[in-house]
Amino acid sequence: MTAEQQALREVMQSFTTKHSSEVKVRELMATTEPFDPVAWSALSEQIGAPALVIPEKFGGAGFGFGELGIVLEESGRSLLAAPLLSSSVLATYTLLLSEDDVLCAELLPGLAEGARLGTLAAGDDDLVIAPNGRTTARHSDDGWRVTGAKAYVLDAMCADFVIVAANTESGHSLFVVDLPQTEVDITPLTVMDQTRSFARVELGEAPARPLGRAG
């Protein structure tokens, strides 16, 4: 571990001591809020956690998973309720791996600032992971539309967009669906881990944009 990484760990330990003590975690569990916006704002602005692995050209810090891993370790150690896994790992890495520079340039700067949140919906409502799932996307004159239901989507209740895995005529593809919209119904789910926010996401011909290459 480098000196910079050790310093980041110490900063995170100080942060979680202040913002994610056992008392604070239990207080948040007793509410319907998915996370503490004050803590998330501090994590984003003071530590820059959401920006760590995002390249500088997209408004990020340009570090690697080693630095993000330290943030995740210390967050997990303190049961910090924050959209780190959903937005800063799942959504961020899916965008980066798609190599879709247009949508990366549009979405990653907001994720880096922590001002916008994203998440990933992969498993269908029956817990089947696509490409064998039943979520489908079709293209018409007015663009792409996604239909289906996704189970246990992390932080969907507070996300600004969700990346949805769906089947098309060309094969398995990914689509960005902006939230909220009338064609998307989000229902919170009760799970054992009360520090995490999960929801069922039902899409009924929801407008979407393809991410990366179709199929």
CATH code for the domain in which residue 53 is found:
1.10.540.10
Q: How far apart are CA 121 and CA 211, in angstroms?
A: 13
Under 8 Å between Cβ of 146 and 164: yes
E strands in 43-170: 118-121, 136-140, 143-154, 161-168
- Identify whether residues 74 and 152 lie together within a single domain: no
What percent of the chain is predicted at pLDDT more than 70? Answer: 95
- Identify whether residues 206 and 123 lie together within a single domain: yes
203 part of a folded domain: yes
pLDDT tens for 39-83 read: 999 999 999 999 999 999 999 999 999 999 999 999 999 999 999
Amino acid at 25: V
pLDDT confidence band for 28 (50 / 70 / 90): confident
Q: How far apart are CA 17 and CA 24, in angstroms?
A: 10
pLDDT confidence band for 143 (50 / 70 / 90): very high
Three-state DSSP string of 176-204: EEECCCCCEEEEEECCCCCCCCEEEEEEE
> What average pLDDT is seen over the chain?
91
CATH of the domain at 136: 2.40.110.10
Six-digit token string for 183? 């064609």
pLDDT of residue 142: 87
Q: How far apart are CA 18 and CA 57, in angstroms?
A: 32
Given a cut of 60, whether residue 128 has pLDDT beyond it is: no
- Identify whether residues 29 and 73 lie together within a single domain: yes
Last residue of a domain, one of 66, 83, 100: 83
Given a cut of 60, whether residue 172 has pLDDT beyond it is: yes
Last residue of a domain, one of 29, 62, 83: 83
110 part of a folded domain: no
Q: Give the number of domains in the chain.
A: 2
Q: How far apart are CA 13 and CA 74, in angstroms?
A: 6
Residue ranges making up the domain that contains 153 = 118-211
- Identify whether residues 132 and 181 lie together within a single domain: yes
- Identify whether residues 70 and 134 lie together within a single domain: no
Higher-confidence residue of 36 and 54: namely 54
94 part of a folded domain: no
Q: How far apart are CA 156 and CA 126, in angstroms?
A: 18
Given a cut of 70, whether residue 11 has pLDDT beyond it is: yes
62 part of a folded domain: yes
185 part of a folded domain: yes
pLDDT tens for 80-121 read: 999 999 999 999 999 999 999 999 999 999 999 999 999 999
pLDDT of residue 191: 87
Last residue of a domain, one of 65, 83, 101: 83
pTM above 0.85, yes or no: yes
- Identify whether residues 69 and 132 lie together within a single domain: no
Averaged pLDDT, 162-187: 94
Q: How far apart are CA 213 and CA 36, in angstroms?
A: 36
109 part of a folded domain: no
Among 15, 100, 107, 108, CA closest to 53? 108
- Identify whether residues 79 and 122 lie together within a single domain: no
